[in-house]
């Protein structure tokens, strides 16, 4: 990567498979999925669509943080940010920028009050915390404020784009330290919306499998502390990994479907490699977007085969563990990639039994055949907004 | 950075590169679509935000050579205040009544404000960066700074950027610009503010 080297000095995660990196790692190593019948979101579809809920109700998340209020997206975000800042040894956030991706924002809380409010004309429901920016501001307030905050809302690539944007800010010299990622809770709005698109599986999802029938939604948050190498050295912070490249491309095909040739995915991955000055043969693992929908997995497989050929690196989707955490997925999966680099293992692709035609054979064996040095993390979104991040355990 | 083309649309009219024309009555985007004889049936599936952003980009790009050649070097970076609220409100009507509950997939896909960047990219074969930012208000400084940063990517040579704002009960408010990386420093906060206020430089 030209110019400033961007390194990672902290990481935080919360998802259906646990609170924090330790629990997440254990679940990944033990092959324990967090997909289950819906327990916390109030919906008539609770037993119909298995989902990856964070295993705690909202009041207990508040208690965990000693807070009186706060919506679920905010609380999940705070938990992940707290872990990341702690690891990076940052106590004063006034010189740090916060970039958070979300699309649901405070919608889930609004849903709880909306019907009631409509019955009582004249009363105004509080929608102060409804919009996406409000959840970022509430997260920022918890830590006493940041130098700069921004919210990115590009659907399922939001968190990945927040990380990309943070790297650009560091490289352009606008800031030394950014905490970037995303947070998203389950809401009736997007559960029903995805159902209307008929892309939810009624069984646990099976990414890259010939019999895959859709995705399971999930929720959670994942954040990275990104920092210029100079700043990390000055603070004597331990460097956990490097963000050596990234790419964003538009698939320019359809509002919600991916192109048959996976053009956007192909271009995003290729850009990330070019920026890092690496070749396809240098990549040791790909954490796929791999939602489990027939369309995404076919398109992404095609993109990988076009870029890497038949000798493609180990690839897996971890969405059968966490569910598709939509806007947070890029953050959650970037943290999972970092764990893979640190612990030298390959997260496995659960529920795979039969390859699709022209498809990929995803990771079944956690033991890598060669050192895991450079990994790609994919996040693709409605609107054809495709992002790939290149994380490494060494600079290039 | 160089400003190549611009279009301003508000309740008073349309300024295309400074040339004024009155706003057609009713749905101005649809009126212009029909008037210009454009053949792109997907237009009618779009929500209001996409229609106005898409139509403004049509007017802006109409004269460009090799316009539909797929390219990766052009970004689409748009800003607004109200996200996809026009469409969100319509979608809400399909899920409002428990006894008449039919979430519309056609409306659901437009409950994301960044879809407008995708619609423009699909039409023109752009495979570069697409982003959509929400701001409290039009902010020339942030627009200029963000486009400057986008052009730091060596793969990005030009961008379609600007403000595409609509909300229920409010007139549409757009300023769309085509900018490239050439050194002619007419792409700055002062000029952008001038364009937003007066529609011409």
**Domain assignment of residue B72, given as a range:** 2-198
A186-204 pLDDT tens trace? 999 999 999 999 999 999 9
* In the predicted structure, residue A304 carries a pLDDT above the cut 90: yes
Q: How far is A165 from chain B (nearest CA, A)?
A: 10
Residue A267 tokens, joined: 């271009």
By percentage, how much of chain B surpasses pLDDT 70? 100
> Which of the four pLDDT bands, split at 50, 70 and 90, describes residue B76?
very high
Give me the CATH topology for the region A6-392.
Answer: Peroxisomal Thiolase; Chain A, domain 1 (3.40.47)
The least confident of A108-112, B8-12, B69-73 is A108-112
Q: Report phi then psi at A39, rounded to 5.
A: -120, -30
Does B112 sit within 8 Å of A385, measured CB to CB?
no
Distances (CA, A) of B37 to A191, A340, B34, B58, B120: 39, 55, 5, 12, 18
Mean pLDDT calculated for residue range B178-197: 95
* Helix runs in A31-157, H state only: 58-65, 72-88, 107-119, 132-142
3-state secondary structure chain B: CEEEEEEEEECCEEEECCEEECCCCCCHHHHHHHHCCCCCHHHHHCCHHHHHHHHHHHHHHCCCCCCCCCECCEEEEEEECCCCHHHHHHHHHHHCCHHHCCCCHHHHCCCCCCHHHHHHHHHHCECCCEEEEECCCCCHHHHHHHHHHHCCCCCCCEEEEEEEECCCCCCCEEEEEEEECCCCCCCCHHHHHHHHHHCCC
Q: Angle at CA A6, nearest 5°, toward A13 and A322?
A: 20
Q: Angle at CA B42, nearest 5°, toward B41 and B46?
A: 130
For residue A193, the chain B residues in CB contact (below 8 A) are: 103, 105, 108, 111
Residue A229 tokens, joined: 């190498």
Residues of A tagged active-site: 156, 289, 324
Q: What is the CATH number of the domain that holds B152?
A: 3.40.47.10
Say how far apart CA A241 and CA A237 lie, in whole Å. Answer: 12
Does A81 contact chain B (CB < 8 Å)?
no
Q: Number of Cβ pairs closer than 8 Å across A and B?
A: 104
pLDDT of res. A120: 78
Does A151 sit within 8 Å of B134, measured CB to CB?
yes
Residue A28 tokens, joined: 């990944």
Q: Chain-wide mean pLDDT for chain A?
A: 95
* In the predicted structure, residue B163 carries a pLDDT above the cut 70: yes
Does A342 contact chain B (CB < 8 Å)?
no
Query: Domain limits of chain A?
Result: 6-392
Q: Are A383 and B115 in contact (CB under 8 A)?
A: yes
Burial of A67 per CB tally in 10 Å (0-12, 13-18, 19+) = middle
Say how far apart CA A309 and CA B188 lie, in whole Å. Answer: 45
Does B112 sit within 8 Å of A382, measured CB to CB?
yes
Of the partner residues B103, B114, B124, the one whose CB lies closest to the CB of residue A385: B114
Does A353 contact chain B (CB < 8 Å)?
no
* In the predicted structure, residue A381 carries a pLDDT above the cut 80: yes
> Which of the four pLDDT bands, split at 50, 70 and 90, describes residue B103?
confident
Q: Are A356 and A298 in contact (CB under 8 A)?
A: yes
* In the predicted structure, residue A19 carries a pLDDT above the cut 70: yes
Distances (CA, A) of A391 to A13, A179, A227, A309, B107: 17, 16, 14, 21, 37
Say how far apart CA A9 and CA A228 lie, in whole Å. Answer: 10
Mean pLDDT calculated for residue range A212-232: 97
Say how far apart CA A362 and CA A353 lie, in whole Å. Answer: 10
Say how far apart CA A180 and CA A101 lie, in whole Å. Answer: 8
Q: Is A133 helix (H, G, I), strand (E, B) or coil?
A: helix
Say how far apart CA A110 and CA A130 lie, in whole Å. Answer: 6
Q: Are B7 and B60 in contact (CB under 8 A)?
A: yes
Of the partner residues B110, B127, B153, the one whose CB lies closest to the CB of residue A250: B127
Burial of B5 per CB tally in 10 Å (0-12, 13-18, 19+) = middle
pLDDT of res. A16: 98
Q: Are A374 and A272 in contact (CB under 8 A)?
A: no
pLDDT of res. A2: 55
Give contacts of A 195-234 with B, CB under 8 A.
Answer: 195-198
* In the predicted structure, residue B134 carries a pLDDT above the cut 70: yes
Of the partner residues A155, A196, A248, the one whose CB lies closest to the CB of residue B104: A196
Type and span of the H or E element at A12:
strand A6-15
Q: Chain-wide mean pLDDT for chain B?
A: 94
pLDDT of res. A126: 59
Q: How far is A358 from chain B (nearest CA, A)?
A: 25
Residues β-bridged to residue A100: A151, A181
Residue B79 tokens, joined: 């800003």
Of the partner residues A133, A151, A154, the one whose CB lies closest to the CB of residue B114: A154
* In the predicted structure, residue A27 carries a pLDDT above the cut 80: yes
A59-80 pLDDT tens trace? 999 999 999 999 999 999 999 9
* In the predicted structure, residue A270 carries a pLDDT above the cut 70: yes
Mean pLDDT calculated for residue range B114-143: 94
> Which of the four pLDDT bands, split at 50, 70 and 90, describes residue A172?
confident
Which residue from B minimizes the CA distance to A274?
Answer: B155
Please report the ipTM that was assigned to this predicted complex: 0.72
Burial of A169 per CB tally in 10 Å (0-12, 13-18, 19+) = buried
* In the predicted structure, residue A308 carries a pLDDT above the cut 70: yes
Count of C-beta atoms within a 10 Å radius of residue B160: 27
Say how far apart CA A386 and CA A158 lie, in whole Å. Answer: 10
Does A249 sit within 8 Å of B129, measured CB to CB?
yes
Say how far apart CA B86 and CA A301 lie, in whole Å. Answer: 36
Does A350 contact chain B (CB < 8 Å)?
no
Q: How far is B28 from chain A (nearest CA, A)?
A: 23
The residues of B whose Cβ lies within 8 A of any Cβ of A are: 70, 72, 76, 83, 95, 103-105, 108-115, 117-119, 121-122, 124-134, 149, 152-153, 155
CA B20 to chain centre: 19
For residue B126, the chain A residues in CB contact (below 8 A) are: 250, 252
For residue B90, the chain A residues in CB contact (below 8 A) are: none
pTM assigned to the model:
0.88
Mean pLDDT calculated for residue range A362-385: 96
> Which of the four pLDDT bands, split at 50, 70 and 90, describes residue B2?
very high
pLDDT of res. A123: 60
Say how far apart CA B171 and CA B153 lie, in whole Å. Answer: 35
Q: Are A9 and A227 in contact (CB under 8 A)?
A: yes
Distances (CA, A) of A272 to A223, A246, A346, B106: 20, 4, 20, 33
pLDDT of res. A226: 98
A120-165 pLDDT tens trace? 776 655 567 888 899 999 999 999 999 999 999 889 999 999 999 9
Q: Which of A161, A250, A256, A295 to mutate to test the interface with B (most CBs of B within 10 A)?
A: A250
* In the predicted structure, residue A32 carries a pLDDT above the cut 90: yes
Say how far apart CA A381 and CA A387 lie, in whole Å. Answer: 8
Count of C-beta atoms within a 10 Å radius of residue A124: 7
- Measure the N-to-C terminal CA separation of chain B; round to a whole number of Å: 16
């Amino acid at each position: 990567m030209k110019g400033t080297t961007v390194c990672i000095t902290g990481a935080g995660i919360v998802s259906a498979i646990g609170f924090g990196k330790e629990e997440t790692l254990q679940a990944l190593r033990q092959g324990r999925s967090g997909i289950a019948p819906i327990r916390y979101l109030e919906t008539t579809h609770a037993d119909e669509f298995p989902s990856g809920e964070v295993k705690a109700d909202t009041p207990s998340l508040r208690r965990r943080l000693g807070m009186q209020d706060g919506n679920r997206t905010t609380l999940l975000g705070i938990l992940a940010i707290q872990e990341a800042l702690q690891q990076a040894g940052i106590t004063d956030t006034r010189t740090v920028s916060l970039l958070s991706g979300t699309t649901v924002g405070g919608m889930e809380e609004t849903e709880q009050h909306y019907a009631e409010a409509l019955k009582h004309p004249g009363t105004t429901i509080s929608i102060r915390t409804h919009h996406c920016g409000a959840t970022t501001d509430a997260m920022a307030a918890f830590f006493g404020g940041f130098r700069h905050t921004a919210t990115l809302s590009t659907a399922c690539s939001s968190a990945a784009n927040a990380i990309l944007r943070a790297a650009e800010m560091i490289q352009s010299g606008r800031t030394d330290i950014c905490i970037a990622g995303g947070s998203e809770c389950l809401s009736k709005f997007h559960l029903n919306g995805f159902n209307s698109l008929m892309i939810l599986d009624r069984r646990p999802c099976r990414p890259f499998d010939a019999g895959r029938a859709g995705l399971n939604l999930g929720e959670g948050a994942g954040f990275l502390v990104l920092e210029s190498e100079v700043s990390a050295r000055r603070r004597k912070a331990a460097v956990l990994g490097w963000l050596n490249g990234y790419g964003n491309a538009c698939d320019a095909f359809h509002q919600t479907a991916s192109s048959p040739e996976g053009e956007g995915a192909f271009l995003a991955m290729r850009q990330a490699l070019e920026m890092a000055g690496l070749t396809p043969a240098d990549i040791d693992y790909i954490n796929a977007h791999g939602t489990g929908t027939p369309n995404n997995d076919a398109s992404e497989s095609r993109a990988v085969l076009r870029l890497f050929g038949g000798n493609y690196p180990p690839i897996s989707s971890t969405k059968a563990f966490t569910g598709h955490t939509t806007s947070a997925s890029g953050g959650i999966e970037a943290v999972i990639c970092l764990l893979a680099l640190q612990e030298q293992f390959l997260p496995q692709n659960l529920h795979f039994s039969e390859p699709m035609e022209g498809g990929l054979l995803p990771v079944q064996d956690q033991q890598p055949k060669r050192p895991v040095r450079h990994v790609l993390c994919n996040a693709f979104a409605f609107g054809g907004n495709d992002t790939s991040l290149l994380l490494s355990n060494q600079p290039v | 950075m160089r400003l190549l083309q611009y279009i301003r649309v508000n309740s008073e009219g349309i300024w295309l590169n400074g040339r004024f024309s009155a706003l057609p009555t009713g749905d101005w985007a649809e009126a212009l679509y029909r008037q210009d004889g454009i053949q792109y049936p997907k237009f009618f599936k779009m929500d209001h935000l996409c229609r106005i952003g898409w139509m403004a980009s049509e007017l802006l790009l109409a004269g460009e050579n090799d316009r539909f050649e797929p390219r990766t070097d052009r970004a689409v970076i748009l800003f607004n205040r109200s996200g996809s609220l026009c469409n969100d409100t319509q979608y809400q009507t399909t899920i409002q009544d428990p006894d008449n509950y039919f979430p519309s997939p056609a409306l659901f896909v437009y409950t994301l404000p960044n879809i407008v960047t995708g619609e423009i990219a699909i039409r023109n074969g752009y495979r570069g960066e697409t982003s959509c930012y929400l701001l409290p208000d039009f902010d020339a400084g942030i627009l200029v700074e963000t486009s400057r940063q986008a052009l730091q990517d060596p793969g990005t040579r030009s961008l379609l950027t600007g403000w595409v704002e609509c909300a229920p009960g409010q007139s549409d408010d757009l300023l769309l610009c085509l900018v490239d990386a050439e050194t002619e420093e007419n792409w700055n906060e002062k000029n952008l503010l001038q364009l937003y206020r007066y529609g011409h430089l």
